[in-house]
A and B are shown apart, each in its own frame.
Chain A
Amino acid sequence: MAIEKIRIPDFGEVQQITVVEVFIAPGDKVEVEASLLALESEKAVMDIPSPFAGVIKEVLVKEEDVVASGDVIALIETKGTEKSKPAAEQDKVENEQPAKTAEPAVPESAKETQAGQVFHATPSVRALARQQKIDLAAVTGTGPHGRILKEDVLAARQQPAADMVEQAPLEDFSKYGEIEEMVLGRIQKISGPQLHKSWITIPHVTHFDEADIVELERFRKKLNGERQEDDPSYSLLVFVIKAVAAALKTFPLFNSSLVPGGEKVIVKKYYHLGIAVDTPKGLVVPVIKNVDRKGCREIALELRRLSAGAREGKLAIPDIQGAGFTISSLGGIGGTGFTPIVNSPQVAILGLSRSYMKPVWDGERFVPRLTLPFSVSYDHRVVDGAEAARFCKTLRRNIEDLKRTLV
């Protein structure tokens, strides 16, 4: 018999994780892999399975708690040495104080020191922060030994300024007619600030183009016609994903991120595409990894799994992490063109609109050609207009003749 701690697994870069539901209570008997809680992060809801079998002694989180990787969820009494998942972070309770009681002691004693001593910032920088109404606790220092520099304070100034625009009070609309207040969904509330940040920090340009998809449609229909029972159905998006992967290989800047300071970009040698999916709860962006190495069938299967997961709120954290480029498809709904917002720190996003029959002059007469309108929004700090036009041209040709993606 031993008391084990169950911890929140490592979610990598995901910062804000909220407990949406707790399934366990002290005294509950749980099996390995039984769901303990449901967590929601920026873009996914996931269940946390139990790494142990045993009896729950104590539950240390409650609904609406914001938690981080490594936080203790619960204490469980296990029988013998049933450690089913050696990789999971687990440790004995006896030898270690719970992190929550040990850690606050440090900041508290720091608070007792004289004012100003908490932050590594020189007097002039502290004065600047006061003038700019910046809380130094929220500023990350980039100077030697993490010292907060004047530049860090000035950089921190931008974000609150943007918030202040939002916080301007609204006029009372009810004097014009009936109104109703509606609470935004959780996903909207979480993604709102990220979209806003992308919108105000990235100088956006959107380039519009069209691809002739007569050939591609013929191929797609043929594949779907030959489909066996367990084959996926092929959507246009599956082929566009392949076309994008090939275009990204030709234009690596479109698969990069701008390093703060604006002097460098980091080019990714992997091809992970975020696919924006409309769900009842809002926009979710699952990620298909290594699309350059996957066939259309594999991509189609993955797309089906991720879309279903997104709609049911069952995506795992790895399913939504790591995208280097995003595709937003509104083709199933309608529209002739739109300007998607780049998902920072990515530098570009592709928007697909509804394909339509276009009369094209072939030199003698107008012929109907099925046409896919698309748009690419990009970060103009990284990509210039001519490069974007070339990217779109390459993408168009890849879509029009998928054989090019083999080259």
Chain B
Amino acid sequence: MSDTDTKKYDVLVLGGGPGGYTAAFRAADLGLSVCLVEQQQRLGGVCLNVGCIPSKTLLHAATVIEEAAEIADFGVDYAAPKIDLSRLLAKKDAVIEQLTSGLDGLCKSRKITRIAGKGVFTDAARLEVAGPDGTQEVRFTNAIIATGSHPFALPNLPEDPRIWDSTAALELRTVPKRFLIIGGGIIGLEMAQIYSALGSEITIVEMLEQIIPPADKDLVQPLFLKLKKKYTILTNTKVTKISPAKSGIEVSLEGKNVPGNAEFDAVLVAVGRKPNSSGMGFDEIGLAVSERGFLQVNERQETSLPHFYAIGDVVGEPMLAHKATHEGKVAAEVIAGHQSAFNPMTIPSVAYTKPEVAWMGLTEKEAKARQLDFDKGKFPWGASGRALSAGAASGVTKALFDRKTGRLIGAGICGLNAGELIHEAVLALEMGANAEDISLTVHAHPTLAETFAFAAEIVDGSITDVLPPKKR
């Protein structure tokens, strides 16, 4: 440990998730000496190890299972699938392994010092790292805090191996027959999809009035109509009591049309995430932590303390890897003396459900709350040849335009590949496009992407694929 004793790094990055490793890579590429501290052996954080990537691997399997069943509609019958959980898990781990070892290689070739262990700031220039090889001290000039978040646990939740958070659910230890998911957000719905395909009976409890509460209700509707045939979905419903019993987990619910006392073989709590901001010396060195545990930063990712930067989940919502990576680059560039700032016009959100839901910019309810005067174009996928022939007629593409400036202010897509399709709208928003810019851009036919152009045509009045709206 002689090396780290004497060396003072230009940049210390605490946390090796997508935000942290991106910040470290960018800083190294800008000629700074970088030390990356991550408590897990593998880089990639929640996203790569217990979040986005493993869930997408399992979702892919779930989607194929579902589609194999649905293709019966086209006269193609498959036998019921045989599912080998251990091989499915092995595949998931192989994907993680491939991605994280790729990161290790990128780290090494950039000559970034990696330290595995839990870091605690001892003062404004030193971090103590407790790792498997003992404790060592890292000296630094600048610090980028990228400590991420963890699943929020309900208060007074009993300890029981059948009560899971998202990390436990991705371990796929068993496929419960009766599976309760508390939380109708993106994580809850994705897990529901995986376990439903594997054979679980799903019950979803959501406190608010709709699933995926931040999105517009009409956007989520095609998904909701599909899911409610397969799942029991209880909105406006609260969980009042959870008590483990021998035969299952007994759950008391409060709301309309709720079953009296319900029993489940497993319960997933997916009610949100909390920032990781305690136990790492933040208070001690004088970093301001908000009531909800977030570090406060400006658009240059600077915290209240000079030379301390923070990025990703620990600085606030939305807790998304693609926000963290962009913020990580900004922090590294600011340290390198660039005039960088994180001020995108929007950060897109995607639910990888089937059908997918994606939205960006303002939702319709946000636009109304701001009393904006806007035009809405909403194109139902039932009128799209590509959607119909792909068995994906239940979908919708919606675009909102400011009536005064004509510019796109928000868009949402529900349907097959919505998560891929939304980015045309993100680009249009950043470029300041209006409805004509989009409708006069030639989209290939038949594609799902052209539904976005159709939504714009509805607004500029040039639509022919459905009846044009009445003239205002």
What is A's interface to B at a CB cutoff of 8 Å? 109, 112-117, 120-123, 126-127, 130-131, 133, 145, 147
| Complex CA–CA separation, A114 to B341 (angstroms) | 14
| Complex CA–CA separation, A28 to B362 (angstroms) | 52
Q: Which 10 A-B pairs have the closest CB atoms?
A: A115-B343, A116-B343, A131-B339, A130-B339, A120-B432, A116-B345, A122-B431, A117-B345, A123-B430, A147-B432
Once A112-B370, A117-B345 are accepted as A-B contacts, the answer to whether A145 and B407 lie under 8 Å apart by CB is: yes
Cβ-closest chain A residue relative to B429: A117
List residues 28-43 of chain B with CB under 8 A from any CB of chain A: none
Chain A neighbourhood of B252, CB < 8 A: none
Chain B neighbourhood of A120, CB < 8 A: 405, 407, 432
Which interface class (under 10, 10 to 19, 20 to 34, 35 or more) fits B? 20 to 34
B299 at the interface (CB under 8 A from A): yes
Interface of B is mostly: loop
Q: How far is the CB of B344 from chain A (nearest CB, A)?
A: 7
Cβ-closest chain A residue relative to B346: A114
The answer on a CB contact under 8 Å between B406 and A145 is yes
List residues 346-380 of chain B with CB under 8 A from any CB of chain A: 346, 362, 370-372
| Complex CA–CA separation, A116 to B346 (angstroms) | 9
- 6 A-B residue pairs with Cβ-Cβ distance under 8 Å, sorted by A, are A109-B371, A120-B407, A121-B432, A122-B432, A126-B343, A145-B434
Chain B neighbourhood of A126, CB < 8 A: 343
| Complex CA–CA separation, A131 to B337 (angstroms) | 11
Q: How far is the CB of A122 from chain B (nearest CB, A)?
A: 5
Chain A neighbourhood of B345, CB < 8 A: 114, 116-117
| Complex CA–CA separation, A262 to B430 (angstroms) | 31
The answer on a CB contact under 8 Å between B339 and A133 is yes
| Complex CA–CA separation, A126 to B434 (angstroms) | 19
The answer on a CB contact under 8 Å between B431 and A130 is no
The answer on a CB contact under 8 Å between B430 and A109 is no
What is B's interface to A at a CB cutoff of 8 Å? 299, 338-341, 343-346, 362, 370-372, 405-407, 430-432, 434
Q: A145 is contacted by which of B299, B339, B432 (Cβ under 8 Å)?
A: B432
Q: A115 is contacted by which of B299, B362, B370 (Cβ under 8 Å)?
A: B299
Cβ-closest chain A residue relative to B372: A109
Chain B neighbourhood of A114, CB < 8 A: 343-346
| Complex CA–CA separation, A130 to B339 (angstroms) | 6
Chain A neighbourhood of B372, CB < 8 A: 109
Cβ-closest chain A residue relative to B371: A109
Q: How far is the CB of B298 from chain A (nearest CB, A)?
A: 10
Chain B neighbourhood of A127, CB < 8 A: 340
Q: B344 is contacted by which of A109, A116, A130, A147 (Cβ under 8 Å)?
A: A116
Once A115-B299, A145-B406, A145-B434 are accepted as A-B contacts, the answer to whether A123 and B344 lie under 8 Å apart by CB is: yes
Tell me which of A113, A126, A131, A147 has the highest count of chain B C-beta atoms within 10 A of its own C-beta.
Answer: A113
| Complex CA–CA separation, A114 to B345 (angstroms) | 6
The answer on a CB contact under 8 Å between B370 and A113 is yes
Q: How far is the CB of B460 from chain A (nearest CB, A)?
A: 14
| Complex CA–CA separation, A112 to B366 (angstroms) | 11
Cβ-closest chain A residue relative to B338: A131
Cβ-closest chain A residue relative to B434: A145
Task: Given contact pairs A113-B362, A122-B432, enumerate 5 new A-B contacts (beta carbons under 8 Å).
Answer: A114-B343, A116-B345, A130-B339, A133-B339, A145-B407
Chain B neighbourhood of A113, CB < 8 A: 362, 370
| Complex CA–CA separation, A133 to B339 (angstroms) | 8
| Complex CA–CA separation, A147 to B428 (angstroms) | 13
